Structure 1
Amino acid sequence: MKAWKNVHIQWRKSSYSTDADGTNCLEIAAYHSGIALRESEEPEVVIAMTQEQMRGFLANIYAGGIDGSI
């Protein structure tokens, strides 16, 4: 498990994050060899993947392969 507290990366919030207090946001960052995602309410929980994995993940979402039942 990567210690994300010790890694300096620039997190960006989704433009679709419209929570009034700014705590319910999806954040994304590019890092050394890939992409990291986190939810702002739990910033210590990070999903890291390669760019290729991210493309496959997004393609699956757009194709309706993820229905929210996770």
Structure 2
Amino acid sequence: MTTFDNWRKSSYSGEGDGNSCVEVAISSSRVGVRDSKTPARAFLTFPPEAFAPFLEDFKADAPR
């Protein structure tokens, strides 16, 4: 199991309800994603080669 100790909150958190977002952490072989409101609960992991295309698609669909 991969252990992450470098979680960081999305730069899009902004003001107001900034806790309603995701946090990511990166290891040498996995990218972790968790809910910032419940960081002690389960999280998802992805191989970097799967996470990068996901981010590109997400950014392409994000409102500007």
TM-score, with length taken from structure 2: 0.66
Find the residue that maps to 1:42 and give its secondary structure: coil
Return the alpha-carbon distance in structure 2 between the equivalents of residues 22 and 63 of structure 1: 22
Return the alpha-carbon distance in structure 2 between the equivalents of residues 30 and 8 of structure 1: 7
More strand by share: 1
Unaligned 5+ segments in structure 2 are: none
Return the alpha-carbon distance in structure 1 between the equivalents of residues 4 and 56 of structure 2: 29
Q: Which structure would you say has the larger RCO, counting Cα contacts within 8 Å and 6 or more residues apart?
A: 2
Paired position in structure 1 for 2:48: 51
Q: How many residues align?
A: 60
Return the alpha-carbon distance in structure 2 between the equivalents of residues 35 and 8 of structure 1: 9
Unaligned 5+ segments in structure 1 are: 65-70
How large is the RMSD of aligned CA atoms in angstroms?
Answer: 2.4
TM-score, with length taken from structure 1: 0.62
Return the alpha-carbon distance in structure 2 between the equivalents of residues 23 and 46 of structure 1: 16
Give the ranges of 4+ consecutive aligned residues of structure 1 lying more than 4 Å apart after TM superposition: none
Return the alpha-carbon distance in structure 2 between the equivalents of residues 16 and 62 of structure 1: 12
Sequence identity percentage: 33
Paired position in structure 2 for 1:61: 58
